[in-house]
């Protein structure tokens, strides 16, 4: 899953793809490097990010979705917590919802999810972007995340969203310390108990910088290495900025461990 942030303030590439020319260049890059899904986001979810209104978010994401659709039939994910944005994105050509609030923030999101048949990503987050990194605490981070998914999936099923459409994301960096993130990553297979595909969004995250004292622009190699580890742990979707570097790491890892090249 390649990331297209059309935001001025995302932690890694905020402001890079806002104008039409740069957006087209980024779309060409993601398609050329072999992304399987493009995730379009118009509101930053970095710690302490300022919220964005519906109209502004729509102004950012809908042209991006149209641009992708003009070039490709690739699956498009809309990264939003707002039902109105999700619905407009689906009407514009998006085929998937990626909601960091797990469909809890906007009460109308479940209704939007029932209007189409594509996948829906639900993410675990302790708190919200404004306060999630102030003092994250868990008695047992894995148990609490899995309990959350068990309860949320049941809640969604009761409202007409089948488990077969749900993808779970443990929310690396969303209300977690470095230690919490590492525990999750070392035990990713525990997320498989829900019978849903697993998505990991680890790309360029601050815990990688803190572990190895690297600025955000120098974390793609670490992201690619961690992607190979995640693939080995049966993660289904890797959400990354550097698609090409990640795919090369997966090709090499797959060849070294199985002798079979990673699918092109």
Residues tagged active-site:
205, 239
By DSSP bridging, strand 2-5 and strand 237-238 are unpaired
d(CA 221, CA 29): 18
168 backbone φψ class: left, alpha, beta (φ>0; ψ -120 to 50): beta
**Are the CB atoms for 61 and 54 separated by under 8 Å?**
no
Alpha-carbon distances of 5 from 9, 14, 119, 210, 240, rounded to whole Å: 9, 7, 20, 23, 11
Write out the two tokens for 176.
């977690």
Task: Check if the beta carbon of residue 184 is closer than 8 Å to that of residue 172.
Answer: yes
């Amino acid at each position: 899953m390649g990331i297209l942030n059309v935001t001025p303030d995302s932690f890694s590439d905020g402001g890079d793809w806002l104008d039409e020319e740069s957006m087209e260049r980024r779309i060409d890059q993601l398609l050329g490097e072999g992304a399987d899904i493009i995730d379009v986001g118009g509101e930053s979810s970095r710690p302490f990010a300022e919220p964005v209104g519906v109209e502004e978010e729509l102004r950012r994401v809908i042209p991006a979705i149209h641009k992708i659709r003009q070039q490709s039939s690739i699956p498009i994910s809309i990264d939003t917590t707002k039902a109105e944005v999700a619905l407009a994105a689906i009407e514009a050509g998006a085929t998937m919802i990626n909601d960091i609030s797990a469909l809890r923030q906007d009460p109308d999101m479940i209704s939007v999810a029932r209007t189409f048949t594509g996948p829906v990503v639900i993410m675990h987050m302790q708190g919200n972007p404004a306060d999630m990194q102030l003092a994250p605490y868990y008695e047992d981070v894995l148990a609490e995340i899995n309990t959350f998914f068990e309860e949320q999936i049941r809640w969604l099923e009761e409202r007409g969203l089948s488990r077969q459409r749900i993808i779970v994301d443990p929310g690396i960096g969303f209300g977690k310390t470095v230690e919490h993130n590492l525990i999750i990553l070392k035990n990713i297979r525990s997320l498989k108990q829900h019978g849903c595909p697993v998505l990991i969004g680890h790309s360029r995250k601050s815990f990688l910088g803190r572990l190895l004292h690297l600025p955000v622009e120098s974390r793609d190699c670490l992201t690619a290495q961690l992607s190979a580890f995640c693939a080995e742990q049966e993660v289904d979707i890797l959400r990354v900025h550097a698609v090409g570097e990640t795919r090369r790491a997966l090709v090499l890892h797959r060849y070294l461990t199985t002798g079979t090249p990673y699918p092109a």
